[in-house]
Structure 1
Amino acid sequence: MHGPAKRLLTTAAIAAVAATALTGAAEAKPPRYERDLGRETLAANDGWAAAEGGTTGGSAATDDNVFTVDTWADLQEAVQGDQPKIVYVEGDIDAWTDAEGNALTCEDFNAPGYTWESYLETYDPEVWGWNEPSGPVEEARVRSYDDFRQHVMLRPGSNTTIVGVDDASVTHGSFFLSQVDNVIVRNLGVHDAYDCFPAWEGDAWDAEFDNFELSGATHVWLDHLTITDDGVEDYEGPDIWGQRLEIHDGAIDIVRGSDLVTVSWSHIQDHDKTMLIGNTNSDRYDEWEKLRVTIHHNWFENASQRAPRLRYGQNHVYNNFYTYDGDTSYPYYYSMGSGVHSAIYAENNAFHMPTIAPEDVLRNWGGEAIHIEGSRFNGKRVDLLAAFNEAYPDDALASEVDRGPELHGRVHPTVAVPWLVTAKAGAGRIC
C-alpha cells in the first residue's frame, strides 16, 4: 500500500487518532516475523559498536515513533529526527520514484543545459584536451548531480533502527549516516547505488554514491544485509576516452572519523570498492583513536578489493568468508589492505579462490603491520602474511599490531566458516 508512513499504534493510540481524524493515519500493520527485530539491540560483547555505551538504535521508541513504509518518500520521512524511532521496510523500495511512486530515470534529474550526450560532446579530449571540465555544461552537470544526490540519499537521524520485513530491499538508494550516533540497520537488501552523473576528472571517471557511507558516525550496527550492484556491473560498462566509466563507488565506506562500528552476517556480492575505512592519509579528521570497526561473519563474494582497506583505525576482522570464482567481470585485486597507521587484527577467516594465489590476499598501502592468524585458503591452512612477505619483500609487513580487539563474540573454528557464513549471512537469514 502506497502513501504516508503507516504508524504501528496501540489500541488506545488508534482510538485517539480516529477521534482527532489526523491526516495520514493508516491501518496498523505489525511486522511479519516472530521476533520483533526492531526492539533488539546489539549484544554487549558484539564488537566495537558494543563499546562505550553500546548500540541500541531506536529500540526505546514510543508507539507513535514506529513506522512501516513501502515507498521511498515515506522511508525518507520516517527516518528524520533524533528521537528513538523504528522503521520497518516492506517490499522493494526504489529510490528512483517520485512522491506518488512513479518511476524516474536519470534523465528526469537533468538540469537545464545538461544532457549526457552534450557532456560527452563538450569534454571529448579531442576537443577539450586532457583537462578537467569547466564551464556551463559542467556547471549544469553539478546542478543535476546535486538534485539527484538530494533525492537518492537516505539520511537517518540518531537513535534509529531500520529493519527489513521478509524480503525487503532498497534499490538505487544510498544510506548516508552523517554525524549521527546510535543507528541499526538489519535484514535488508541494498542494491545498485548508481551514480547518474559520473564526473570526468581529466584522466579518469569518478562515481560518488556508496550503498552505505558512514561519515563521522558513531555506534552503528549493520547486520544481515545483502549488498549488490544488482546485475549492473561496472566492468561490463563502456570504456570512454580510454577509461572505464564508473557508476558505483563503495559498498560500505566508513570514513571521516567514524567510530565504534560492527558489520556482521552480511553478504556483499559482485562489487569493486567494497569497504574503505578511513578516506585520507592525512590526519585532518583526528582519527588516531577512531575508526574502530569489527567485521565478522560476512560473505565477500566476488569482491574485487577493500574488504577492508584501512587507514589509521583498529579493525577486528574474523570469521569472514571470501570467495572468488573467476566467473565474473569483476577482477580480483586483493582482500585486506593495510594503510597508514592501521591496525588490522584478522583471525580465522576462510578463503575459496581457486584462481588466486595466497600471496595476493593482502596489499600494503603504506601500513607497517597486520596480525593475521588461523586462515584457511582453498581448504588448507596457509600463513597469508608469510606468503605475502615472501612474494613482495619490498612491501613486507610486521606480524603484530599495537592495538588489538577488546570486545567480540565467539570466534568459530575456521573450518566451520564456509558453511556457517553461506547459510546465515545476508538479508532474510536471521535465526
Structure 2
Amino acid sequence: MWFTTAWLLGACCGLTLGLDIYDGPKPDLSDTPFGYAAASTGGTTNVSAVYVVSTLADLKEAAELPYTKTIYVNGTIHGNELDDGSMADCQTYIDTTGSDNSASRQFNFTLYILAFNETYTALVDAAAEAGETFEGRNATEYSELLSHQNGWRPTVVATQKSQVGVRLTNNTSLVGLDTSAALDGINLYLSSIDNVWVRNLKLVSPADCFPAPETFPSSWNAEYDAVGLVTSTNVWVDGCELQDQLSGEYVVPDELDGWQVDRFDGLFDCEDGTDNVTFSHNIVRNHHKSLLIGGGTKEADRDLGKMHFTIFGNHFDSSASRNPLMRFGTFDIASNLYSYANDAEPLFEAAVERRADGPADAVFQYHLGVYNQSTVHVRANAFVATGAYATDASRLFTVSEATLPERPAHVCVDSASTSTLNGEAVDMDMVAQATVDYFVEEGRAVEGAVLVTCDGVADEGYELPVVLASGEDVEQYVLANAGQV
C-alpha cells in the first residue's frame, strides 16, 4: 500500500494526526533549486513526514504542521469544498456568515452594486419620500437595505476568505503527484515564513464572490491570488500552471448594471520584503494582471535591499500584463517565452504594420513593468505575437512611478544573448530606451528616473540550469520544460 493512515504523534511537536503517509511513486522532478532561491531545501524525504492529501480539510491540516514536511497533492482539491464534502457557492458564504439572525446575511451582491448607482438610489429615495413602492418593494425599507450593503460586504468577504485560504508554514514542499494535481479556487498564502517549494501543481485562483468596484466600468479590487507571498524568503515555485479556471480558458467578466465584474486578482503576488524567490518553468495562462512583485510605494522601506527574484523558463501564454510588474527589487528575467495576441495600438513606432485578422477586443497591455527603483536584468527572452499589431515592440516594457532620478530604476539588457520577436532579433536596449523616452515625453515619467544601462548592475552570482543564447532556443526549451509532468 502506498497510502498508510497514520494516527501518530508528530515528531517534536506532540500533534495527533489523521493524515495519509505516502511512500509511493513520485513525479520525476529535479531536486536542485537555482537562482535566488538556490539555498532553499523545501520539505523532507523522511517518510514519517511525507503525506498525501486529496481533500481541502487534509490539505489545511498538513499545511499547518509546524515541522519539516512534504505534502503531495493527489487529484483536484477544490477551495469551495466544505467539511461535509458539499461545494459552497457565493450564497453559501452569505448564509453562513455570523449567527442565524445576523443582519449581514441580507447582503446581496447585485444590491451592493446598485447602491453605487446614484441615479438609481435617488429614484429609490424619491419614492420613499413620497411613501410609494419601488419595483414592488417598500421604498423606505429598500433604501435602508441598500444603505447597509457596503457595510455588510467585509463580513461576507471574511467568510469566503476563511474557506478558500490555505496558509503554508516553514520548511514545506507542496508537490503535485502528476498532471491531474490541482488546487482549484485556493489561495495559497505564505506570510513571514521561510523555505518553501511549490511544484508540479495546477494553481487556479479563487473567483472573488464579492469584489469591490474601483473605476467604472471594468476596474475592480478582487481579494485573492493563486499564490501570495508576504515577508517570506527562500521560495521556489516550479513547474506549475497558474490560471483562472481548470480548463485554462479566459474567464469573461460578468455584466452587472453596466459594470464588467472582474472577480480575479493576481496569480503570483509578492510584497513586504519577500526575498530570494525563483519562479521557474511555470505556465501563466489567460490572466490580465499576473505577477505583481512589490506591493506599492508605501512599502519601499520594507522592500529595498530585499526582493531578489529569478524569473526563468516560464511560458506567459496570453497573459495580458504584469509579466512581471517589478518594484524596488532585483529581477533576473531570463529565457521566458511570451505568446500573446497584440491588438493594442502601438505606443510608438508608428510605422508598424496593422493586420486586420485580430479580434476586435484586445486584452494584452504590456509584458515587463519597470516600476519604482527596480533593477531588471533582461536576457534571451522570446516573444511570439499574433493579432493586429504582431510586429509592435512598444509594449514589451512599460514604465510607471518613475519620479526619482536620484534613485533610478535600471534596465540592464544582457549583451551576450538575443531576444526575439516572432523569430527576429529585437534590440531590447533600444526598445527599453524608446519606452522610457515615450513616458518622459508624455509627462508620465521623470528624465533620469529609469536608466537603460548595465553600469553599476551587479552580476547575480549564480548559474542557471541552462544558458540559452537565442530566442529560438528559448522557445524550444520552454515548450519542452514548462508546466506539469
Q: Same fold (TM over 0.5)?
A: yes
Q: Distance in 2 between matches of 1:423 and 1:290?
A: 32
Query: 3-state SS of the aligned residue for 1:286?
Result: helix
Q: Where does residue 17 of structure 1 map in the other structure?
A: none
* CA deviation map 1:122-171 (0-9, x unaligned): 33332458xxx995322221111001101101100011000001120110
Query: 3-state SS of the aligned residue for 1:427?
Result: coil
Q: Which of 110, 113, 116 is the equivalent residue of 2:106?
A: 113
Alignment of 1:50-65 (within 5 A): 50=38, 54-59=39-44, 62-65=46-49
* CA deviation map 1:236-294 (0-9, x unaligned): 22344554312101111111110000001000110111111101113454211111000
Alignment of 1:374-385 (within 5 A): 374-385=418-429
Query: 3-state SS of the aligned residue for 1:421?
Result: helix
Query: 3-state SS of the aligned residue for 2:333?
Result: strand
Query: 3-state SS of the aligned residue for 2:287?
Result: strand
Q: Where does residue 272 of structure 1 map in the other structure?
A: 288
Do the aligned partners of residues 173 and 316 (structure 1) sit closer, same or farther apart at CA in structure 2, a change above 3 Å counting? same
Q: Where does residue 369 of structure 1 map in the other structure?
A: 410
Question: Is 2:110–2:256's contact at 8 Å kept on the other side of the alignment?
Answer: no
Q: Distance in 1 between matches of 2:207 and 2:326?
A: 24
Matched, 1:236 2:252: yes
Matched, 1:49 2:84: no
Question: Is 1:235–1:330's contact at 8 Å kept on the other side of the alignment?
Answer: no
Q: Where does residue 407 of structure 1 map in the other structure?
A: 462
Query: 3-state SS of the aligned residue for 2:376?
Result: strand
Matched, 1:199 2:217: no
Q: Distance in 2 between matches of 1:243 and 1:388?
A: 35
User: How far did 1:29 drift?
Assistant: 4.6
* Higher Rg of the two aligned structures: 2
Q: Which of 248, 255, 260 is the equivalent residue of 2:276?
A: 260
Tell me the number of residue pairs that the alignment of Structure 1 and Structure 2 aligns: 401
Question: Is 2:326–2:370's contact at 8 Å kept on the other side of the alignment?
Answer: yes
Paired residue type of 1:69: V
Q: Where does residue 142 of structure 1 map in the other structure?
A: 154
Do the aligned partners of residues 119 and 169 (structure 1) sit closer, same or farther apart at CA in structure 2, a change above 3 Å counting? same
Q: Which of 182, 189, 196 is the equivalent residue of 1:169?
A: 182
Q: Where does residue 19 of structure 1 map in the other structure?
A: none
**Cα root mean square deviation, aligned:** 2.7
Alignment of 1:12-411 (within 5 A): 24=18, 29-33=22-26, 35=28, 41-43=31-33, 46-50=34-38, 54-59=39-44, 62-110=46-94, 111=97, 112-128=105-121, 136-167=148-179, 168-201=181-214, 203=216, 204-230=219-245, 236-240=252-256, 242-325=258-341, 331-354=363-386, 355-356=389-390, 357-367=392-402, 368-373=409-414, 374-390=418-434, 393-395=437-439, 397-401=450-454, 402-404=456-458, 405-409=460-464, 410-411=466-467
Larger CA deviation: 151-160 vs 394-403: 394-403
Q: List gaps (5 residues or longer) in structure 2.
A: 9-15, 98-104, 123-144, 343-357, 403-408, 441-449
Query: 3-state SS of the aligned residue for 1:261?
Result: strand
Q: Distance in 1 between matches of 2:220 and 2:71?
A: 36
User: How far did 1:234 drift?
Assistant: 6.9
Question: Is 1:272–1:330's contact at 8 Å kept on the other side of the alignment?
Answer: no
Question: Is 2:188–2:226's contact at 8 Å kept on the other side of the alignment?
Answer: yes
* CA deviation map 1:191-210 (0-9, x unaligned): 14211111134754311111
Q: Distance in 2 between matches of 1:202 and 1:278?
A: 22
Query: 3-state SS of the aligned residue for 2:323?
Result: coil
Larger CA deviation: 322-331 vs 207-216: 322-331
Q: Where does residue 128 of structure 2 map in the other structure?
A: none
Query: 3-state SS of the aligned residue for 1:370?
Result: strand
Q: Distance in 1 between matches of 2:384 and 2:312?
A: 17
Q: List gaps (5 residues or longer) in structure 1.
A: 1-5, 15-21
Do the aligned partners of residues 345 and 134 (structure 1) sit closer, same or farther apart at CA in structure 2, a change above 3 Å counting? farther
Q: Where does residue 417 of structure 1 map in the other structure?
A: 474
Do the aligned partners of residues 34 and 422 (structure 1) sit closer, same or farther apart at CA in structure 2, a change above 3 Å counting? closer
Q: Distance in 2 between matches of 1:25 and 1:303?
A: 37
Paired residue type of 1:398: L
Query: 3-state SS of the aligned residue for 2:399?
Result: strand
Do the aligned partners of residues 91 and 293 (structure 1) sit closer, same or farther apart at CA in structure 2, a change above 3 Å counting? same
Paired residue type of 1:126: T
Q: Distance in 2 between matches of 1:240 and 1:311?
A: 34
Larger CA deviation: 403-412 vs 371-380: 403-412
Question: Is 2:370–2:400's contact at 8 Å kept on the other side of the alignment?
Answer: yes
* CA deviation map 1:352-383 (0-9, x unaligned): 01334112201111344311242111101111
* CA deviation map 1:306-351 (0-9, x unaligned): 1111110000010000011357866111100111110010101111
Do the aligned partners of residues 135 and 183 (structure 1) sit closer, same or farther apart at CA in structure 2, a change above 3 Å counting? farther
Q: Distance in 1 between matches of 2:201 and 2:248?
A: 19
Q: Distance in 2 between matches of 1:284 and 1:391?
A: 24
Question: Is 2:114–2:257's contact at 8 Å kept on the other side of the alignment?
Answer: no
Question: Is 1:82–1:160's contact at 8 Å kept on the other side of the alignment?
Answer: no
Do the aligned partners of residues 64 and 105 (structure 1) sit closer, same or farther apart at CA in structure 2, a change above 3 Å counting? same
Q: Distance in 2 between matches of 1:189 and 1:159?
A: 21
Question: Is 2:313–2:334's contact at 8 Å kept on the other side of the alignment?
Answer: yes
User: How far did 1:101 drift?
Assistant: 2.0
Q: Distance in 2 between matches of 1:165 and 1:23?
A: 21
